[in-house]
Amino acid sequence: MPSNGGYEYAKVVDHLNTSSVITQDLLNFLESYTVTLYQSSRQDRFSGPMPWIGIYIASASILCIVAMMADLVHGFKSKKLWFPTKYFNLNAASLSVIAVAMKLPMDLNSIMPGAVDQNAKIVSMAFMCTMMANLMPSLATMNNKTLVSNIIGLGILVITVVVNVCIQIRTGVLPYSFDDEDFVISHSVSNTTMQESLKVVERATSTFAAITYVVVPLMFLMMQTCSALAIITSKQILESKYKQVHESSLIDQRRVTSSIENLKQQVLNYWTMAESGNPQIIAACFATSSASGTLCLYNTCIMIRVMTWAIKYLWDYNSDYKWSMVVILLVQAFGVLIGTIAPVGRCFTPLRFKDATSWYSGRMLSIESYWTKKLYDLKKRSTAFPFHSRKNKIVNHILRIWILRICIGIQKSVVVCCKFISFYPYVLLVFVSYWLGPSAIIDEPSHVEGNEVVHTRFVLRFQDDMELTERTLKGITQSLNLCIQKGQRKKPSNLKMLINESRGFEGVVKYDNHHISSLPGIEYRNSWSLSLVTLTTIAICLPNIQKNMVERLLRGVSEGLAYVALVEESLNATDDYLSIQKAAKTLWLEVTVDHKWLGYELQTLSPQTDSIKQIILRLRYKADEYLNPHLNIFIPVESTDICNSIYADLMYRITQTIILFYGTSIDQVNHEVLFVRLSSMISDILAACLTNLPQVIVMKCHTTEIEKREESVRAAAQLLGETTEIITILQARARPESLDQDDLPFIDKWRASLNPTP
């Protein structure tokens, strides 16, 4: 009925009031429908935006699908067929997007009698099950506190959706219950398509909705909760084994030199520890993971069956969402199909281990300790209750013990059920290996030569009888080589040319004269990045320099500062120096992008007609002016400006050093001569700083956070690939004998060693 139907109906009733033919009882009956028709017309108006809300639901679903596909591609690309989660993780953002995608099952009272409407709700539940299966490995990427909060958030969402679906089943919204009135209306309008679709929808939904899309999501939630408890304990086991192997690795590091081959071997050792001790692969080996893959496949088979019915009636939609229901149905059905690949692939993760058969058969009835250890620890732990009454304390203690006993029983039951469910992939494996041969599925021992077997003692065995196959070990080595090769494709060529221009480390001393005092009130501080930025600022201020020379210097320093920052952040991470290093990045952006130094335009500081002396004096004057605006009375700077004050002080010291070095002959100095000298000092400072790269690479290999360990070692491997040539060049140079290994990260230690006489 049109939006003004209530108004037109009221006019008709008023007209009938004047008629003597219509009885009063009939008029009263007709008038009773006026308000109903008005509310119906207003409801039609309010439901106008519903198709766009449907597009919003489809868009949220597409975001989830894209994230799952990205993880799928990442797994194939990295040859990790247990498909670690990198993009589709369980967090607040993903829970919010999933909640939007589940809008249809959450809709309690909207009438959805069409075949597409009903099947879209069913496919939405299937889509939620698929997403839960894909989220399983991401539980291992969180710390314990985040893991608990995210599991609670997921549980609230799943239980809410399931309760809503149960209510809809009870009220007849899902599957839609057709009473006598519905059939009378359908016969009155002679809608045979509707009559046929009613039977199809009822047959499709009544069988599967109650069983699959109420029970299966709860099963996924129980499996994820059980996995979360096991992950907490498994991380503790992996961490203790990592510490043992790490200590032996430290002993090896003291015995060997920091050559490229030894560096690569050390990175390989840590890479092996990170890969074999990755909590995600351990979680993928859990029986709950294999069971979730099997249930996900079962869920997909039901969805395919539902879609075969839905396709026949693709244009039968009668809800307020209108045509957007078709979009939601097709998008989420596609998401179910794509999202099933990764969970099913994880069913065969134990094949990476030599005792794969025991995973499926020998441990069917046994419950490993890591499944229940956390619950037993909670049971033994004494809890302080906020009760003064001794009786209340006893009651609460007994209640807590019984609750934990029930939880332990549920945990064991779930694990046993999951092991039986995960037995089906093993049966499938037997049949496939029978037709293709065992070597096509299960790794056989292979001959490994040379240093490729050295890293096997760095494999972290989650359980003593777990041992990686030779093919898996080779895959670890190959993946490391790929990371190093990826870094080699990004090697800093401009930095290498700049380093080659250096023949020693004398520039570390020459750029700043020891006899020059800092400005009043400024404590002398220095850093690698601060010196490089200041020297480069002076160099690019010089006029009449070939543009390609300036550009080459800027590119080389830009590439070098990225590695200098790594050295300072890794080896010189005190609070005082971190603030200087952070502000040095801001100053470098100001110099290279805005062409300013502490607010002063570089072009105004170095006109083309000025001599070297005038430019250097002007830079020194601006540094002095920044610290003392009146040039006579020192004004203490605020704490927020302390870093800029240190920059100004270093600019003053360096410019004064240049003036003292050239003396009275500074007016005769050619611009290019000074530019070359400054470039030489810059390259010397870069060379001295980057001698710390081997130490940085080894440090990046080790991190205390187990969740970030693999990414940290990957970054170290790429850094090794990028800087291999630079490390080789610098290792050929003799460092000062008086400089200890612990002194290498500090520029002041270098200056004291190279120039011991102040």
CB atoms within 10 A of CB 712: 17
Of residues 728 and 259, more confidence is placed in 728
Compute how many other C-beta atoms are within 10 angstroms of the C-beta atom of residue 561. 22
Q: What residues contact 689, with CB distance under 8 A and at least 6 apart?
A: 528, 563, 564, 567, 747
pLDDT average, residue stretch 698-709: 88
Chain position carrying tokens 């004050």: 645
The span from the CA of 715 to the CA of 712, in Å, is 5
Least confident of 203-207, 347-351, 367-371, 527-531: 203-207
What are the tens digits of pLDDT across the range 617-666? 888 888 877 766 534 344 444 444 567 777 888 888 898 899 888 887 88
Q: Tokens at residue 102, please?
A: 């589940």
3-state helix vs strand vs coil in the chain, percent to 5: 75, 0, 25
Q: What distance separates the 2 farthest-apart alpha carbons in the chain?
A: 124
Residue type (1 letter), 394 = I
DSSP per residue, 419-487? HHHTHHHHHHHHHHHHHH-GGGTS-------GGGGGGGGG---SSTT--B-HHHHHHHHHHHHHHHHHH
- How far is it, in rounded angstroms, from Cα 699 to Cα 694? 9
Q: What distance in Å separates the CA atoms of residue 273 and residue 243, rounded to the nearest whole number?
A: 10
d(CA 508, CA 751): 6
Residue by residue, what is the 3-state secondary structure of 371-426?
HHHHHHHHHHCCCCCCCCCHHHHHHHHHHHHHHHHHHHHHHHHHHHHHHHHCHHHH
Least confident span in 102-111, 252-261, 687-696: 252-261
**Predicted local confidence at residue 204, as pLDDT:** 47
739-756: pLDDT as tens digits: 888 888 888 888 888 876
- pLDDT surpasses 90 at 81: no
Q: Are 487 and 719 in contact (CB under 8 A)?
A: yes
For residue 601, what are the β-bridge partners? 596
CB 289 within 8 A of CB 346: yes
Output the DSSP codes for 331-359: HHHHHHHHHTHHHHHHTTGGGGBTTHHHH
Q: How many CB atoms lie within 10 A of CB 604?
A: 10
Q: In b/e form, how buried is each residue of 685-696, taking b as 16+ CB within 10 angstroms?
A: bbbbbbbbbbbb
Question: Does residue 129 register a pLDDT over 90?
Answer: yes
The answer to whether residue 284 scores a pLDDT higher than 80 is yes
* Eight-state DSSP code of residue 661: H
Per-residue DSSP letters for 521-558?
T------HHHHHHHHHHHHHH-SS--HHHHHHHHHHHH
- pTM for the predicted model, two decimal places: 0.82
Highest mean pLDDT among 46-55, 108-117, 153-162, 703-712: 153-162
Residue 678: pLDDT band (50, 70, 90) is very high
Closest Cα partner for 367 from 291, 418, 405?
418
Q: What is the pLDDT of residue 25?
A: 61
Task: State both tokens at 669.
Answer: 């100095």
Q: Which of 294, 420, 414, 276 is nearest to 348 (CA)?
A: 294
Is pLDDT of 19 > 90?
A: no
CA distance 732 to 503: 11
What band does 558 get if pLDDT is binned at 50, 70 and 90? very high
143: number of Cβ within 10 Å: 12
Q: Are 564 and 690 in contact (CB under 8 A)?
A: yes
Is the predicted pLDDT of residue 433 greater than 90, yes or no? no
Helix axis angle for 470-488 and 260-276, nearest 10°, is 130
pLDDT at 185: 45
Burial class (CB in 10 A: 0-12, 13-18, 19+), 476: buried
| Among the listed residues 282, 119, 291, 274, the one whose alpha carbon sits nearest the alpha carbon of residue 221 | 291
Residue with tokens 């400006």: 641
Q: Is the pLDDT of residue 369 over 50?
A: yes
Q: Rounded to the nearest 5 degrees, what angle is found at the Cα of 582, between the Cα atoms of 576 and 583?
A: 95
CA dihedral 518, 524, 530, 533 (to 10 degrees): 0
Confidence band for 564, pLDDT divided at 50, 70 and 90: very high
List Cα–Cα distances, 614 to 198, 390, 432, 536, 621, in angstroms: 92, 87, 83, 18, 10
DSSP state of 638: P
Q: What is the C-alpha to C-alpha distance for residues 748 and 754, in angstroms, rounded to an integer? A: 10
Average pLDDT, the chain: 80
Share of the chain above pLDDT 70, in %: 76
d(CA 379, CA 398): 10
Per-residue burial over 724-736, b = 16 or more CB atoms within 10 Å of its CB, e = otherwise: bbbbebbeeeebb
Is pLDDT above 80 for 32? no
Which residues, 6+ apart, have CB-to-CB distance to 89 below 8 Å?
A: 135, 138, 141
Contact 750, 527 (CB under 8 A): no
Instruction: List b or e across 636-670, with b for residues whose CB sees 16 or more CB atoms inside 10 angstroms.
Output: ebeeebbbbbbbbbbbbbbbbbbbeebeeebeebe
Cβ contact 580:530 at 8 Å = yes
